[in-house]
Amino acid sequence: MEESPIRDGRLLRQEIPMTKASLKVATVQFELRPEKTLQQYLDHVEGLVKRAAEQQAELVLFPELASTGLLGAVTDHEVTTATITSDYWKFLPEFTDDIVEGMRRMARDYNIVVAGGSHNRVAEDGSLRNTAYIAHPDGRVESQDKIHLTPQEHALGARGGDELLVTKVGPFTVGVLICADIQFPELSRYLVHKGVDMILCPSLTWNRRGIHRVRTGCQARAIENQLYVVMSPLFGTSSIPTDSPMFAVGRALIVGPVDRTVGVNDGILATTASADEELLVADLDHDLLVASRAKPEAPGLALRRLDLYAKLQAEMGA
């Protein structure tokens, strides 16, 4: 009888060397549902991390505000549109440190990079932030605040961040653009300047216009920067707020450059087909990306007009 690959809740497998020229990534189409306790939420996340590790993924991505379902753990009042601002400020941030520690443990136990989505936190300056976390198997945890906030986030009194994270995962240099941030090409061009060739996009949208803004933004950034974009959406509903429930929508997506080298005419390397919770897995070839950038079919990065851009920016007063 073969030995089970799982023992004491941990996946037994050889550590995957982070020096090869490809990376197997998993992105979660993550269901928003009432999470009655922190442990219930962590069990939900860990089940998907375990599935990703069993498929030999080296990175798994979760969506924006992934822990929103923990509003289902409120017991001392009914969560309504009248309480939601206070709940975002005072209730959800209480879980964030423990969620990050859970991510750190999962990354170590399953030998996988856990890009655990974003979560509400109150910063040292007292502001409400929408912060994404990346936990590495060696125990490191990195973070980045969402930069471009929605009108709804501004109405909550949240504040956008001012810094962009650049990190290494396997052969890739990785950046993070949270949901609406993917719609601003200035950020991705800065990331490319810093060597980024993969962008992670945790996302939360609640109408079909939002879906298309994020999906189109992902595809545009992949085309104009000749890189990979991995997007994880939140979907479903927790029936909260009770007087106006949020319904999140979206499909997980992995996209790349549109050219002869990559060989996918629409650039969509993988996407989900169902409206259920799913794990989308793909192998991303770093050498293929290098070849795409070296010999672009369209103008690409190599044929940019940097002198002209500098002139135009000067005229704009940038």
What local confidence, expressed as pLDDT, does residue 318 receive?
A: 63
In this prediction, residue 208 carries a pLDDT of 85
Contact 153, 142 (CB under 8 A): no
Is residue 234 within 8 Å of 64, Cβ to Cβ?
Answer: yes
Asked if 66 and 35 touch (Cβ cutoff 8 Å), the reply is no
Q: Give the pLDDT score at 13.
A: 36
257, 223 Cβ separation under 8 angstroms: yes
| 21 in Cβ contact with 56 (< 8 Å) | no
Evaluate whether 225 touches 256 at the Cβ level (below 8 Å). no
| Identity of the amino acid at 296 | P
Q: Would you state the pLDDT for residue 125?
A: 96
Which pLDDT score is estimated for 8?
37
Q: Which residues of 273-295 are buried (b: 16+ CB within 10 A; e: fewer)?
A: eeeebbbbbbebbbebbeebbee
Per-residue pLDDT of the chain (318 residues; tens, 9 = 90+): 333 343 333 333 333 333 479 999 999 999 999 999 999 999 999 999 999 999 999 999 999 999 999 999 999 999 999 999 999 999 999 999 999 999 999 999 999 999 999 999 999 999 999 999 999 999 999 999 999 999 999 999 999 999 999 999 999 999 999 999 999 999 999 999 999 999 999 999 988 899 999 999 999 999 999 999 999 999 999 999 999 999 999 999 999 999 999 999 999 999 999 989 999 999 999 999 999 999 989 888 999 999 999 999 999 986
